[in-house]
Amino acid sequence: MTAATQTFQKDRRGVNVPLWREALVGLDWMALHASPVYYGLGVPHGDKSAVIVVPGFLGTDHYLWAMNFWLRRIGYTAYMSRIGWNAECLNVLTERLGETIDKAYAETGRKVHLIGHSLGGVLSRSIAVRKADQVASVITLGSPFRGVRSHPLVLDRADDVRKYMLRKRREEWPDCYTGYCTCAAVQAMMWQLPEDVRQTAIYTKTDGVVDWQVCVSDDSAVNFEVKGTHVGLAFHPDVYRVIAQRLHHV
Strand order in the sheet with 50-54: 77-80, 50-54, 112-117, 135-141, 198-203, 223-225
Q: For residue 15, which amino acid is it?
A: V
For the chain, 250 residues long, give each residue's pLDDT as a single digit of tens: 343 333 344 455 566 777 788 898 999 999 999 999 999 999 999 999 999 999 998 899 999 999 999 999 999 999 999 999 888 888 889 999 999 999 999 999 999 999 999 999 999 999 999 999 999 999 999 999 988 777 677 777 767 776 776 666 655 656 665 656 677 777 777 888 999 999 999 999 999 899 999 999 999 999 999 999 999 999 999 999 999 999 997 5
240-245 contacts, C-beta under 8 A, 24 or more apart: 240/32, 240/35, 240/37, 240/38, 240/43, 240/67, 240/70, 241/37, 241/42, 241/43, 242/200, 242/202, 243/115, 243/139, 243/200, 243/202, 244/37, 244/43, 244/44, 244/45, 244/46, 244/74, 245/43, 245/44
For the chain, first and last CA: distance in Å? 25
Q: Between 25-33 and 237-248, two packed helices, what is the crossing angle to 10 degrees?
A: 60
pTM: 0.88
Report pLDDT for 66: 96
CATH architecture of 3-248: 3-Layer(aba) Sandwich (3.40)
Report pLDDT for 87: 84
Maximum CA pair distance of the chain?
54
Would you kindly state where each structural domain of the chain is located, as residue ranges?
A: 3-248
Report pLDDT for 171: 56
Report pLDDT for 172: 60
